[in-house]
Amino acid sequence: MRNVVILGMRRAASAMLLVIVLLFTGVTVSVAGAVALFQTEQSAAAHCPRDVVVWVNTQTGVFHFKGQRWYAATKQGAFVCEAEALQGGMRATRNGQ
């Protein structure tokens, strides 16, 4: 039983280390939709040069286009490629904000 607990702790520590490394490199990955999330608009644009960069509220899964009220302005969010956001189950705002 003790070995199982130690193994679980090691896996949790490894997962936490991976999250920290990804955060400091400016890229994180959403497990739910496997969508690449970026801290800067430029990073997202470099990832998908032929796609539109949108701002996704990571709490709600709703994304906003540049020029809209909540673009890069929600408490929790990231820049993503529109096509990847759609494939990951996210949706555009319905009220144009």
Q: What is the per-residue pLDDT for 13? A: 52
Token readout for 76 is 């929790």
Q: What is the per-residue pLDDT for 74? A: 96
Return the domain boundaries, the chain: 26-92
Question: Residue-wise pLDDT tens for the chain (97 aa)?
Answer: 555 445 455 565 554 544 443 445 454 444 445 799 999 999 999 999 999 999 999 999 999 999 999 999 999 999 999 999 999 999 999 999 9
Report the C-alpha gap between 34 and 20 in whole angstroms: 17
Say how many Å lie between the first and final Cα of the chain, rounded.
53
Q: What is the per-residue pLDDT for 34? A: 76
Residue identified by tokens 């555009």 is 92
Q: What is the per-residue pLDDT for 38? A: 97
Q: What is the per-residue pLDDT for 28? A: 46
Our measurement of the distance from residue 74's CA atom to the centroid of its chain's CA atoms, rounded to an integer in Å, reads 13
Q: Is 34 exposed, middle or buried (0-12, 13-18, 19+ CB in 10 A)?
A: exposed
